[in-house]
């Protein structure tokens, strides 16, 4: 019986994780759940899964939540704040940590799980993009097991040589083929992108996800972040990574070996598949996902990525090439730009301008300490906000 802590249990990945966990009560016990705003869902989750701990960020919300938990006769202890997130991610009774907070907010608790040598189920790609080599060296030092949840990285992990561990080199691999759906605007007229709304950007053709990653999929920054994530997880330079646009999202990525063999992992676009893979690893168990029906899929198509339509993809390659603090700068500027787009303060087409402005104006630094990473992150957030305020980006 393993103990699990779910960071970001009320989000899209968090909810799917609890769905899979509840199918295997003999294998997993929920030790801790954490949330930001959705207290009603967190309460329902506490009723259903009786965690030892529940964490909310806000002090007032957590005080109210504690009363509600008590009144319902539940034994869950309610904690509050970022340090509590780090605490629950490092508890002795926790074996696996699902890192499913969105954005840079997830960095410190995810890093705490890695430092504590947990089995880290990594959905929170922004945390890895920001802290890069620093994160990977903590994983190596503590002996933590790093299992990718991002569907592409989970697919690659499954196609890697037997007994492969994240972060290790695999010389028999020639390249990785990272598939991308292309998002909702793959075929939209370029001049129409200027006027797209947040709801249009969030209407992904194949996946239902949180709003931030949905916008990232529409700009293809999601694939850009995934390129950086893949270089780190699989210890490869960006030259050995090819983005392949595959609109059906049936092949979740491929590994091309030196002998010419190409292994692909396929399945329905349902995040419970990679989640169940990582939870059961190195075994397998039921995820609840429908079996793949290839007769309904009928066709698999592939095309090269269009860097003109998706300038964010170019910026991400630039950031990984520059190294150091640049991926953290790219990620932070993107988070600010996307939040502003979702608030209808900037246009969809301004998102890459905001990111490029920060990348060009913040000096490149080394990123070998967490302080340096957090400083680059903050500097980029402040610069992106100032740029938006001045230029309005309309």
Task: Examine residue 124 and tell whether it contacts ligand NAD (CB under 6 A).
Answer: yes
Q: How many CA atoms lie within 13 A of 214 on its CB side?
A: 22
Piece in contact with ligand NAD (CB under 6 A), picked from 205-213, 335-343, 352-360, 379-387 = 205-213
Piece in contact with ligand NAD (CB under 6 A), picked from 121-129, 157-165, 281-289, 334-342 = 121-129
Distance of CA 33 to the CA centre of its chain: 18
Task: Examine residue 327 and tell whether it contacts ligand NAD (CB under 6 A).
Answer: no
Task: Examine residue 326 and tell whether it contacts ligand NAD (CB under 6 A).
Answer: no
Task: Examine residue 180 and tell whether it contacts ligand NAD (CB under 6 A).
Answer: no
Q: 20, 79, 84, 105: which one contacts ligand NAD (CB under 6 A)?
A: 105
Tell me how far, at minimum, the Cβ of 53 lies from ligand NAD, in Å.
14
**Interface positions, 137-156, toward ligand NAD (CB under 6 A):** 150
In terms of Cα–Cα distance, which of 370, 361, 366 is closest to 333?
A: 361
Residue 48, both tokens:
């259903």
Lay out the sheet containing 2-7: strands in order across. Answer: 77-80, 53-56, 28-35, 2-7, 96-99, 119-122, 145-148
CB of 13 or CB of 393, closer to ligand NAD: 13
Q: Which does 36 bind (CB under 5 to 8 A by kind): ligand NAD, Mg ion, none?
A: ligand NAD
Q: Name the residue number minimizing CB distance to Mg ion.
A: 150
Distances, alpha carbon 338 to alpha carbons 6, 13, 158, 283, 347, in Å: 25, 19, 31, 38, 10
Task: Examine residue 57 and tell whether it contacts ligand NAD (CB under 6 A).
Answer: yes
Q: How far apart are CA 315 and CA 321, in angstroms?
A: 10
Asked if omega into 282 is within 30° of 0 (cis), the reply is: yes
**Interface positions, 251-280, toward ligand NAD (CB under 6 A):** 271
Q: Name the residue number minimizing CB distance to ligand NAD.
A: 11
Number of residues in contact with ligand NAD, rule: CB under 6 A? 27
Provide DSSP, 24-42: -TTTEEEEEEEESS-HHHH
187 CB-near residues (< 8 Å, 6+ apart): none
Task: Examine residue 36 and tell whether it contacts ligand NAD (CB under 6 A).
Answer: yes
CB of 325 or CB of 334, closer to ligand NAD: 334
In terms of Cα–Cα distance, which of 320, 314, 384 is closest to 355?
A: 384
**Interface positions, 6-35, toward ligand NAD (CB under 6 A):** 8-14, 35
Task: Examine residue 224 and tell whether it contacts ligand NAD (CB under 6 A).
Answer: no
Sign of CA dihedral 350, 356, 357, 362: positive
Piece in contact with Mg ion (CB under 5 A), picked from 59-67, 82-90, 151-159, 335-343 = 151-159
CA angle 335, 338, 342 (to 5 degrees): 135
Element (H, E) at 53: strand 53-56
In terms of Cα–Cα distance, which of 271, 255, 51 is closest to 162?
A: 255
CB of 130 or CB of 393, closer to ligand NAD: 130
Task: Examine residue 86 and tell whether it contacts Mg ion (CB under 5 A).
Answer: no
Q: Which does 277 bind (CB under 5 to 8 A by kind): Mg ion, ligand NAD, none?
A: none
Q: x/- contact string, 58-97, with ligand NAD (CB under 6 A)?
A: ----------------------------------------
Residue 185 near residue 308, CB atoms below 8 Å: no
Bridge pairing between strands 119-122 and 96-99: parallel
Tell me how far, at minimum, the Cβ of 377 lies from Mg ion, in Å.
22
Residue 142 near residue 117, CB atoms below 8 Å: yes
DSSP state of 346: S
Q: Which does 177 bind (CB under 5 to 8 A by kind): ligand NAD, Mg ion, none?
A: none
Distances, alpha carbon 378 to alpha carbons 133, 328, 331, 372, 382, in Å: 19, 9, 11, 10, 6
Piece in contact with Mg ion (CB under 5 A), picked from 2-10, 86-94, 149-157, 260-268 = 149-157
CB of 221 or CB of 393, closer to ligand NAD: 221
Task: Examine residue 145 and tell whether it contacts Mg ion (CB under 5 A).
Answer: no
CB of 150 or CB of 256, closer to ligand NAD: 150
Which chain residues interact with ligand NAD by CB under 6 A?
A: 8-14, 35-38, 57, 100-102, 105, 123-126, 150, 207, 209-210, 212-213, 271
């Amino acid at each position: 019986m393993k103990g699990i802590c779910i960071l970001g249990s009320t989000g899209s990945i968090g909810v799917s994780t609890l769905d899979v966990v509840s199918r295997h009560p003999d294998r997993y016990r929920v030790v801790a759940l954490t949330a930001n705003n959705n207290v009603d869902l967190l309460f329902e989750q506490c009723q259903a899964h009786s965690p030892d701990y529940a964490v909310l960020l806000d002090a007032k919300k957590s005080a109210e939540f504690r009363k509600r938990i008590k009144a319902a006769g539940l034994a869950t202890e309610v904690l509050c704040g970022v340090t509590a997130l780090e605490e629950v991610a490092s508890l002795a009774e926790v074996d696996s940590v699902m890192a499913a907070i969105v954005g840079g907010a997830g960095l410190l608790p995810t890093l705490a799980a890695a430092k504590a040598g947990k089995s880290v189920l990594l959905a929170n790609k922004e945390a890895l993009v920001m802290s890069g080599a620093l994160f990977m060296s903590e994983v190596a030092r503590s002996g933590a097991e790093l299992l990718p949840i991002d569907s592409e990285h989970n697919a690659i992990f499954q196609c890697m040589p037997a007994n492969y561990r994240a972060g290790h080199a695999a010389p028999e691999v020639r390249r990785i083929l990272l598939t991308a759906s292309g998002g909702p605007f793959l075929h939209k007229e370029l001049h129409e992108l200027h006027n797209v709304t947040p709801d249009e950007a969030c209407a992904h053709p194949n996946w239902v996800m949180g709003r931030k990653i949905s916008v990232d999929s529409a700009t293809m920054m999601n694939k850009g972040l995934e390129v950086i994530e893949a270089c780190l997880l699989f210890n490869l330079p960006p030259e050995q990574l090819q983005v392949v646009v595959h609109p059906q999202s049936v092949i979740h990525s491929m590994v091309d070996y030196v002998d010419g063999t190409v292994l692909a992992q396929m399945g329905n676009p349902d995040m419970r598949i990679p989640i169940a893979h990582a939870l059961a690893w190195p075994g397998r168990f039921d995820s609840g996902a429908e079996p793949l029906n290839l007769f309904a899929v009928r066709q698999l198509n592939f095309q090269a990525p269009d860097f003109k339509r998706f300038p964010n993809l170019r910026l991400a390659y630039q950031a990984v090439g520059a190294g150091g603090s640049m991926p953290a700068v790219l990620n932070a500027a993107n988070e600010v730009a996307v939040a502003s787009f979702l608030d209808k303060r900037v246009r969809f087409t301004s998102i890459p301008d905001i990111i490029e402005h920060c990348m060009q104006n913040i000096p490149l630094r080394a990123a070998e300490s967490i302080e340096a990473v957090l400083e680059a992150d903050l500097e980029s957030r402040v610069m992106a906000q100032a740029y938006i305020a001045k230029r309005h980006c309309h």
